[in-house]
């Protein structure tokens, strides 16, 4: 009986912020979340666009702050390019504009944020070195961000409870789509991270097609 009561008290903060307050929801603590995803491949290049919201003051410190919309373009070339920027053209619903990407040496990818969220049904193309890539919105072919969050919540239920202090949840969360490519491997994953103010970080990796949890705290 004592063991049952102890488990019940541990689980209580996961569902109630306080007496009479709303049910605990990870969405209230998202410092980054991707909700829409585009991708395309061309000759010697592949591209993606992640659309969602993230912190304005982007710091993984366990404190959830004010967020803004983003549309992050990522372009990866098969061959190494010895340059720091890449000028492309983006066409949204028939309207074209030039755009400059910057090279990220940690990932060997050229990246750039449009500064706003593309609409779910937007028609988007990228023109890269004269090659037009019509971006494919594959969001509906993946498990949703909401479903991924629920799987992460279940997988890290004890770790989430450990982020509470005096009845208050002291942490922030991140949910991103990762595209891993190889000679015989091409797979999308949801990557969920929980960062607590006490300085610890927990991770879950989820197969974005099947919803299977394939790793925790890697």
Instruction: List % helix, strand, coil for the chain (3-state, nearest 5).
Output: 15, 50, 35
In the predicted structure, residue 78 carries a pLDDT above the cut 70 = yes
Are 154 and 77 in a shared domain?
A: no
Mean pLDDT of the chain: 89
Q: Which residues pair with 70 in a beta bridge?
A: 52
In the predicted structure, residue 18 carries a pLDDT above the cut 70 = no
Are 49 and 123 in a shared domain?
A: yes
173: domain range?
Answer: 19-28+141-216
Are 117 and 54 in a shared domain?
A: yes
- Out of 139, 170, 188, pick the residue that ends a domain: 139
Q: Which of 100, 108, 116 has the alpha carbon at shortest distance from 46?
A: 108
Query: Does residue 10 form part of some domain?
Result: no
Are 64 and 155 in a shared domain?
A: no
Instruction: Copy the structure tokens of residue 115.
Output: 């500064």
Are 68 and 111 in a shared domain?
A: yes
Are 36 and 129 in a shared domain?
A: yes
Predicted confidence at residue 215, as pLDDT, reads 86
The model's confidence at residue 216, banded by pLDDT at 50, 70 and 90, is confident
Q: CA 180, CA 198: separation in Å to the nearest integer?
A: 31
- Out of 106, 139, 172, pick the residue that ends a domain: 139
In the predicted structure, residue 165 carries a pLDDT above the cut 60 = yes
Report, as an integer, the average pLDDT of 1-21: 41
Least confident of 78-82, 167-171, 181-185: 181-185
In the predicted structure, residue 37 carries a pLDDT above the cut 50 = yes
Q: Which of 84, 91, 78, 89 has the alpha carbon at shortest distance from 105?
A: 84
Q: CA 158, CA 143: separation in Å to the nearest integer?
A: 24
Q: Which of 23, 32, 11, 22 has the alpha carbon at shortest distance from 148?
A: 32
Report, as an integer, the average pLDDT of 86-105: 97
Are 42 and 107 in a shared domain?
A: yes
- Out of 92, 109, 139, pick the residue that ends a domain: 139
Question: How many structural domains compose the chain?
Answer: 2
Are 71 and 92 in a shared domain?
A: yes
């Amino acid at each position: 009986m004592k063991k049952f009561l102890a488990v019940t008290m541990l689980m209580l903060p996961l569902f109630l912020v306080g007496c009479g307050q709303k049910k605990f929801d990870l969405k209230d603590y998202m410092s980054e979340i991707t909700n829409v995803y585009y991708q395309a491949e061309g000759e010697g290049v592949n591209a993606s666009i992640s659309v969602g919201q993230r912190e304005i003051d982007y710091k993984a410190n366990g404190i959830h702050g004010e967020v803004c919309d983003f549309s992050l373009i990522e372009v990866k070339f098969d061959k190494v390019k010895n340059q720091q920027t890449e000028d492309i053209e983006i066409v949204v619903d028939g309207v074209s504009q030039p755009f400059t990407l910057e090279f990220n040496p940690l990932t060997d990818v050229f990246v750039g944020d449009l500064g706003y969220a593309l609409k779910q049904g937007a028609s988007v193309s990228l023109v890269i070195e004269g090659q037009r890539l019509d971006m494919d919105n594959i969001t509906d072919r993946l498990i949703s961000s909401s479903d991924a969050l629920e799987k992460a919540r279940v997988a890290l239920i004890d770790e989430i409870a450990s982020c509470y202090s005096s009845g208050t949840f002291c942490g922030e969360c991140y949910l991103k789509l990762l595209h891993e490519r190889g000679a015989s491997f091409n797979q999308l994953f949801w990557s969920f991270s929980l960062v607590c103010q006490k300085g610890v970080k927990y991770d879950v990796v989820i197969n974005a097609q099947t919803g299977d949890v394939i790793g925790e705290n890697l």
